[in-house]
Structure 1
């Protein structure tokens, strides 16, 4: 398409630039002896009423036909874009008035508006250009208004208003740069339509006037003899269509180039999902995943946020997934639920859900199994629900679609689910829309909707974030009740270490896109063996913490998800790193019953005397050669006080 468009534009550019020099004399020279002749070897398209060569006139009219169309498009685009963009920077009353004006202008067909203003401005090329600009301005205004509305509500626009920036600066710096690309593409495409419309005005006698001429006027003059000599009329029509298609293709090519520029580079990893043979599925496991990897393509690099995650969940088990922001927790959950964004690719060694291997199932079978056996509770229920649909419609949609439940029965099931999560309101609540509910109510509705399918696995991605403590406790009680009543496995993702330790059976600690430790929740405080887990637990403040001392933190930052450096991902931040840690990546290895750690030098168990072992205690133990059982946080604090 790009090569074709380039050839077509070049075909238009040559006569547009050279037409006045090469063909203007022949186009304007009359020949009384060759009036109204048909196509001959001397005159390929024939002659007009004055004996002028029609081919020369067609070529010479290229520039007078294209320039007014481009000018009218640019004028209309400038006026319409300005009018539409103003709706993003003016006040509420002015915004409503501008919106009403745009709607009023769009109520009239553009061609009728152009004809009216062409007659009002007077027949001629200048009047036709102005008339066409007025006619196409409302279309640009509506497109710009729609695009600008997405920018007007952003945080950076609010910050710019707080800073007191004037409207023209808001318009030029904060609104137009974010919507320029689609507007440029639309302007290019509109030039083709403007050419056709301007030719139509000339055809009707409202555009170019003799002795000037363009393709539309040539088409009008050749129409009288179309039944005897069709070529004088057909040739200008072909030229108009050819140029209009060239402008349309130019817009398509520019849009394709913009999409390719924004399209991230595809990952290098293959998309195949090789399953490990010879290992049967565990009967009590709902989910088994080994060596899960997620690759996200970026514009100039490949991001690998998940790098070999291995996990398994049994029926009725609640497993916590903790780690710093950016460690890959949510992407792991999305990969398990087959909800990765477009362009992202997931590979695995083993992926079994409800005993069925994902690699050997078709996409349709896998989707059906996930739709009925797995439920997802998203972090933000406000964006998880469709604001235009009622709560009852969204709660009953899944059971009606997958189980074929009648509507009345599905409504009764929804009422029972709402009662189960202690939400009053009944049918009145089902008739509500999501924005009419509070954050806690929306989250409980999300849990009720997830439980209606009686799924075998619920993935709860930070369901208690941004909720007050009372609502958090209610949400956790709901999850425990669902787990107990339906034997549902729950993968609970959270940043709240204390909440995970209290509610879950096991804890998976994630860092740098991989699981670094898998241990029972009861051992999280004292039995963690990976340095990162130990430091993560120590960074959680409690009521016994000294308020005069700064909170514990983990120095440094998480690893770059685009880097491919060998070794342990925690190597740069670990106070106990070994030479081996820099060159060889550890794998999950068993340390005890239900306890695995990915570390070449796991720490000894912490003392169980009600004292927390922190990073400082671990560092002190490494420096003095003592075991961590002998060095506690109290010892470190006493040493620091003595040094002071």
Structure 2
């Protein structure tokens, strides 16, 4: 079982998603299987019930024949008829046990929300203790306690399922209970029970339904196992577990008597699994299985844009990109959130990449660093970093297979992401994470790497680096975590640092410190910096040149001097500058904005000037 966070979708959109899923091979197989299982449960005893109990003493343990496809058992009864008749009891009791386990587990999982704190902790601890025991042992224990028979088996399996669903409900409900809308309801005095029913339950029902469908298959197997051991269904009733027990004793005489009930258990178990997968995709928990998109045309390097060794004789260019495209599958077609991007960054240069959210800035940086994975497709005429060509046959691979090239990227390219709290492992000490680069790419021993990591922490002005290296990320402030990320990048003396909005989550004072640190690294290490930002003021204060990105394309490459002087050529660049507030704005006037729905051309500045 896994917890998931499902964004709310409209009923119409949900219906369209389910309709799309049901048209896939997975959906068709799930629907077909459910129809077969329901038919067997409803009509099995009606059609084959009499034949399943009819005894033919002339056909005792008969082998398969045209009259009896799976032969007969020791009492001369048709095995296939008994298997089809037992479908109602076998599947029905598994479903009842699942409903009991899910209902009880959800109630247990939601109790911590409505109970006082001490009682809630007791419930959580008891649930954790119950999960520590294997489910099969719990089933056998409950079966012995409540007694053998159908009722006992159902109760045993249901009780054994409760801890797992209780923990699942606890985890999901606790994540929802901390959301702002729940806190607002508590402030308004909404009763806990109403919060549970109105705010928590609707947000966790989809994963519960999916997991319940998957658990029904496990309940069926458990139910058959109890009957096989003699703890479930008792004579004269029979289910697939009892039939399997009876057939096993005659397996050397007629193997089909054991094969038929085993095949029935496997078939229904697979149907429940397919149903769970279909529901998960329909609710949006798993990616939708649709038509495969058409093949993307291969990008052929043009004679004018291909980079040769002669282009890098001066060694001045650290990153040269030509014709970079990032494609994302949408149905049977492809969309290009990054389209035909080309730019150069020289050694020791600080370049800003600016644009509104969603313009493709971060995708461009991740594509250049070969960090984008399927289903995204990254292609380019050429991407050359620090003398090494990253493209292979017009593609930028998501996983660099060459050990030498991986080491080159790991030591010469550093990335600083927007939120360092998600980049640092909360379970590992900061110093150990920084030292890992030295061990992996520099061939240092653990002692040498740890000493170098402390030196790097000292270089980024973290006080008492020996003590701080042994602390965990949660013990660092936001600014210190960002400095630690920069220290991690400095482990390999990088030629290029890609800083993807490194100051967005920081206050103004800490922002200034991080930007000053990047400037110092640029000056002392001669490392080029690609600074991604939507803040024009930050770019003009730190960079010498700005790349303006709009709708996946770089529409202007402009120096900061021209940008500040108002000599930008592209209308989108001018609109970005006009939207920046300044001290000359007259009091009372509204801030300048880019009107909603405005569409700018995505061609180079010379074409629109």
Same fold (TM over 0.5): yes
Instruction: Please point out which of 460, 476, 482 is paired with 2:515.
Output: 476
SS of structure 1 residue aligned to 2:596: coil
CA contact (8 A) 2:431 2:470 kept: yes
Secondary structure at the residue paired with 1:23? Answer: helix
Query: What are the equivalent positions in structure 2 for 1:261-272 lying under 5 Å apart?
Result: 262=288, 270=296, 272=298
Whether 1:552 and 2:592 are equivalent positions in the alignment is: yes
How far apart, CA to CA, are the structure 2 residues paired with 1:453 and 1:407? 15
Q: Which sections of structure 1, spanning at least 5 residues, go unmatched?
A: 560-567, 570-584, 588-596, 602-644
Is 2:136 the partner of 1:111? yes
Contact persistence 1:319–1:490 (CA under 8 A) = yes
TM-score normalised to the size of structure 2?
0.82
Question: In the alignment, what sits opposite 2:215?
Answer: 190
2:99 counterpart of 1:74: yes
**Counterpart in 2 of 1:534?**
574
Aligned-partner Cα distance in 2 for 1:413–1:46: 76
Aligned-pair CA distance for 1:460: 1.2
Aligned Cα RMSD in Å? 3.4
Task: Return closer, same or farther for 1:249/1:489 CA change in 2, 3 Å cut-off.
Answer: same
The aligned residue for residue 495 of structure 1 is 534
Which moves more between the two structures, 386-395 or 124-133?
124-133
d(CA) in 2 for partners of 1:19, 1:515: 67
Separation of aligned partners in 1, 2:152 and 2:296: 61
Rounded to whole Å, the distance in 1 between the matches of 2:342 and 2:114 is 51
| Aligned-partner Cα distance in 2 for 1:138–1:434 | 33
Judging changes above 3 Å, is the alpha-carbon distance between structure 1 residues 7 and 423 closer, same or farther for their aligned structure 2 residues?
closer
Change (3 A) 1:4 1:480: closer
- CA shift at 1:130, angstroms? 2.0
CA deviation map 1:3-40 (0-9, x unaligned): 77677666655543333233322333456x55955448
**2: CA distance, partners of 1:586 / 1:37:** 82
Encode CA deviations 1:481-518: one digit per residue, 9 max, x unaligned.
21122211111122332332232111222233322322
- Pairs within 5 Å for 1:20-59: 20-30=45-55, 34=58, 36=60, 38-39=62-63, 45-46=71-72, 48-49=74-75, 52-59=77-84
Q: Distance in 2 between matches of 1:394 and 1:196?
A: 44
Distance 1:89 1:294, change over 3 A: farther
Secondary structure of 1:452's aligned partner: helix
Q: Report the Cα distance in structure 2 between the residues aligned to 1:520 and 1:37, rounded to whole angstroms.
A: 91
Q: Do structure 1's residue 364 and structure 2's residue 401 form an aligned pair? A: yes
Paired with 1:83 and 1:20, the residues of 2 have a C-alpha distance of 37
- Relative to structure 1, is the Cα distance of residues 555 and 208 closer, same or farther in structure 2, using a 3 angstrom cutoff? closer
Determine which of 296, 320, 334 is the counterpart of 2:366. Answer: 334
Judging changes above 3 Å, is the alpha-carbon distance between structure 1 residues 418 and 5 closer, same or farther for their aligned structure 2 residues?
closer
- Work out the CA distance in 2 between the residues paired with 1:466 and 1:260: 30
Displacement of 1:541 in angstroms is 2.8
Greater shift in the superposed pair: 323-332 or 447-456:
323-332
In the aligned structure 1, how far is the partner of 2:201 from the partner of 2:607?
Answer: 52
- Is the deviation greater in 357-366 or in 317-326? 357-366
Which residue does 1:277 correspond to in 2?
A: 303
Instruction: Give the 5 Å matches for 1:624-635.
Output: none
Q: How does 1:199-210 map to 2 (within 5 A)?
A: 199-210=224-235
Asked if 1 retains the 8 angstrom alpha-carbon contact of 2:51 and 2:78, the reply is yes
Give 1:404's aligned residue. Answer: 443
Question: What is the rounded CA distance, in whole Å, between the counterparts of 1:303 and 1:161 in structure 2?
Answer: 43
> Are the counterparts in 2 of residues 418 and 426 from structure 1 also a CA contact under 8 Å?
yes
For each residue in 1:259-280, what CA deviation from the matched residue of structure 2 results, as whole angstroms up to 9, or x when unmatched?
7753687766727453333554
- Tell me the residue number matched to 1:624: none
In 1, the alpha carbon distance for the partners of 2:392 and 2:79 equals 69
Q: 1:346 pairs with 375, 378, 393, which one?
A: 378
Q: 1:292 aligns with which of 324, 327, 334?
A: 324
Alignment of 1:184-583 (within 5 A): 184-221=209-246, 232=257, 235-251=260-276, 262=288, 270=296, 272-277=298-303, 279=306, 280=308, 281-282=311-312, 283=314, 284-298=316-330, 303-340=335-372, 342-360=374-392, 363-365=400-402, 367-530=406-569, 531-557=571-597, 559=599, 568-569=600-601
2:608 match: secondary structure: coil
Is the CA contact (8 Å cut-off) linking 1:415 and 1:427 kept in structure 2?
yes
Paired with 1:53 and 1:348, the residues of 2 have a C-alpha distance of 67
Distance, in Å, in 2 between the alignment partners of 1:58 and 1:119 is 27
Q: Report the 3-state secondary structure (helix = DSSP H, G, I; strand = E; otherwise coil) of the residue aligned with 1:524.
A: helix
SS in 1 for 2:546: strand
Match of 1:627 in 2: none
Q: Could you say what secondary structure the match of 1:543 adopts?
A: coil
CA distance in 1: counterparts of 2:115 and 2:300, whole angstroms: 57
TM-superposed CA distance for 1:167, in Å, is 4.1
Post-superposition offset of 1:448: 1.7
What's the secondary structure of 1:370's corresponding residue? helix
After superposition, the Cα gap between the structure-2 partners of 1:63 and 1:350, relative to the gap in structure 1 and judged at 3 Å, is same
2:299–2:381 CA contact under 8 A, matched in 1 = yes
CA distance in 1, matches of 2:249, 2:575: 90
Partners of 2:292 and 2:332 within 8 A in 1 = no
1:614-637 per-residue CA deviation (whole Å, 9 max, x = no partner) reads xxxxxxxxxxxxxxxxxxxxxxxx
**Whole-Å separation in 2 of the counterparts to 1:319 and 1:234:** 70
Superposition TM-score, scaled by structure 1 size:
0.78
Kindly tell me: are residues 277 and 124 of structure 1, through their superposed partners in 2, closer, same or farther at Cα, counting changes over 3 Å? same
Change beyond 3 A, Cα 1:303–1:209? same
Q: Does 1:600 align with 2:600?
A: no
Match of 1:126 among 145, 151, 173: 151
Q: Distance in 1 between matches of 2:603 and 2:229?
A: 80
More contact order relative to length (CA 8 Å, sep ≥ 6): 2
Structure 2 residue runs of 5 or longer lacking an equivalent are 1-24
Q: Is 355-364 or 250-259 further displaced after alignment?
A: 250-259
Q: Give the secondary-structure state (helix, strand or coil) at the position aligned to 1:529.
A: coil
**Greater shift in the superposed pair: 288-297 or 63-72:** 288-297
User: Structure 1 residues 176, 275: closer, same or farther in 2, change over 3 A?
Assistant: farther
1:549 CA displacement: 3.0
